[in-house]
Chains A and B, each alone.
Chain A
Amino acid sequence: ETGVTQTPRHLVMGMTNKKSLKCEQHLGHNAMYWYKQSAKKPLELMFVYNFKEQTENNSVPSRFSPECPNSSHLFLHLHTLQPEDSALYLCASSQEGTTNEKLFFGSGTQLSVL
């Protein structure tokens, strides 16, 4: 157990559906992240929240909408996705949100868009 919990573990959705991914960390960290992992590609950082404020948005399409109601919870709302959005979505947290510290990852949500 890494202290970061993601739900659901698997999700299949049609292109017109709306769904949400949930992430919760029990580590008292101040920063939370959403990453996208596609086959044979490096991890892609999508969003960073530090002390509940969004500090990074790596040109992610608006069909992905993050929400961070407090430092322990992070959501990724999905709407009108495309088949190429099928991937493993990973949530992570770190103490201070800098690149000088290690990340703690959840187990991910394997998303399939039909």
Chain B
Amino acid sequence: SQQGEEDPQALSIQEGENATMNCSYKTSINNLQWYRQNSGRGLVHLILIRSNEREKHSGRLRVTLDTSKKSSSLLITASRAADTASYFCATDDNHAGSNYQLIWGAGTKLIIKP
């Protein structure tokens, strides 16, 4: 089955810098979502971008989607210590038999150094 893959697996930057994480997937999708997870906690939804959208913003977050390359990126601008977390992408798979199953990547661990 398809699996989203985040890149890089880990990223460490200085506070105030921008952080970029990438997600690649294998089959056609209807939408792609990004989630954040603080250590040992549940996931929090950040942004959902549909296949007919190319870019979406939410505060300091910018998500792009390139369906021709089957990839998405999450940009966090002016990073803060509180942004330290793992970030996951999840896609539906419009060829799959299930209407309920998202396909998750293994995540990018982001560390913001003060």
Contacts and interface: CB of A to CB of B under 8 A. Distances in A.
A106 interface: yes
Interface in B43-88: 43-45, 48, 88
Contacts of A78: none
B30 A99 contact: yes
Given A42-B105, A99-B31, A100-B31, A105 B43 contact: yes
A48 B44 CA distance: 19
Nearest to B42: A105
SS class, residues of chain B in contact with chain A: loop
A100 B101 contact: no
Interface in B1-48: 3-4, 30-31, 33, 35, 40-45, 48
Contact of A31 (B31, B40, B100): B100
Interface in B88-114: 88, 90, 92-93, 98-107
B99 A102 contact: no
B41 to A, nearest CB: 5
B31 A107 contact: no
Contacts of B42: 2, 4, 6, 90, 92, 105-108
Interface of B: 3-4, 30-31, 33, 35, 40-45, 48, 88, 90, 92-93, 98-107
Interface of A: 2, 4, 6, 31, 33, 40-43, 45, 48, 50, 55-56, 58, 88, 90, 92, 97-108, 110
